């Protein structure tokens, strides 16, 4: 019974930012649970590497280059997924970015727009496109990725934290809009040791401030992702689940 409710056999999943970090871990976990996966990121060659890993697990994969901050790229990604597989059962809006500016006043308009585009505009567009198709079809699941920056406001992460807070609002609103056929939930990760976590990984004070006194390993996102993607969470929608090691 336990294995069955987490089973994703013959499901079709789309994961943005799926070529590395938390995205790659979710792609591989979904494939191991039986899903075929569309792997999207800006670099096609990186997507192709992960696609081969999925195929080695006996599942089908579609690598696709897309910049989620661009409206048209989200349209192309949705169309490609449906053209290749015929449907989408699981969408994970994982792609994101959190560059820092030298100061508040030195935050350029270009940087501000780029952060909002990737972290909020793109997930809104892709969720709208795929979510509406899910409603017209057999339903599905959307999983958004926020951040503990949305709950812990800090001066140096205002654009990023604001965009991720918007993801929480969007999660609840889309859960209402697409109910009852589509469940929409959100994971808010804390500090994970991915390949982009170079600024703070040696910050002992930040580590000791966490309830678990350590940073997360990328594979530790998998349990929550599988829960939300599968029937294990069949009565869960419109929720933001913090996976942050205790960021209080």
Positions marked catalytic: 160
For the chain, helix (H) and strand (E) counts, in that order, are 9, 7
Supply the DSSP symbol for 223: H
Strand runs labelled E in 99-159: 140-145
210 phi, psi to nearest 5 deg: -80, 150
CA contacts within 13 A on the Cβ side of 120: 18
Tokens matching residue 241: 């689940």
Q: Report the Cα–Cα distance between both ends of the chain, in Å, rounded.
A: 35
Residue 161 and residue 150 in contact, taking contact as beta carbons nearer than 8 Å: yes
CA 238 to mean position of chain CA atoms: 15
Tokens matching residue 66: 């897309």
Nearest in space to 40 (alpha carbons), one of 89, 76, 86: 76
Nearest in space to 172 (alpha carbons), one of 240, 90, 242, 91: 240
Q: Residue 91: beta bridge partners?
A: 14, 142
Q: Residue 37: beta bridge partners?
A: 13, 61
């Amino acid at each position: 019974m336990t294995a069955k409710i987490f089973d994703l056999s013959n499901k079709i999943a789309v994961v943005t930012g799926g070529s590395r970090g938390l995205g790659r871990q979710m792609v591989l976990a979904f494939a191991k649970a039986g899903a075929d996966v569309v792997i999207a990121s800006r670099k096609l060659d990186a997507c192709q590497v992960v696609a081969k890993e999925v195929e080695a697990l006996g599942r089908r994969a579609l690598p696709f280059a897309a910049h989620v901050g661009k409206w048209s790229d989200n349209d192309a990604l949705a169309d490609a997924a449906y053209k290749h597989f015929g449907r989408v059962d699981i969408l994970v809006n994982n792609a994101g970015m959190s560059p820092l500016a030298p100061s508040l006043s030195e935050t350029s308009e270009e940087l501000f727009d780029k952060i909002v585009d990737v972290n909020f505009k793109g997930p809104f567009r892709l969720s709208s496109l795929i979510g509406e198709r899910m409603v017209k079809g057999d339903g599905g699941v959307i999983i958004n990725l926020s951040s503990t920056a949305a709950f812990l406001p800090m001066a140096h992460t205002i654009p990023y934290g604001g965009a991720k807070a918007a993801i929480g609002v969007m999660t609840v609103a889309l859960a209402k809009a697409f109910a009852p056929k589509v469940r929409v939930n959100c994971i808010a990760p804390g500090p994970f040791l991915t390949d982009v976590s170079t600024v703070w990984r040696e910050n002992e004070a930040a580590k000791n401030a966490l309830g678990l006194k350590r940073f997360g390993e990328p594979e530790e996102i998998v349990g929550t992702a599988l829960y939300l993607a599968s029937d294990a969470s069949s009565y869960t929608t419109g929720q933001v689940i913090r996976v942050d090691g205790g960021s209080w």
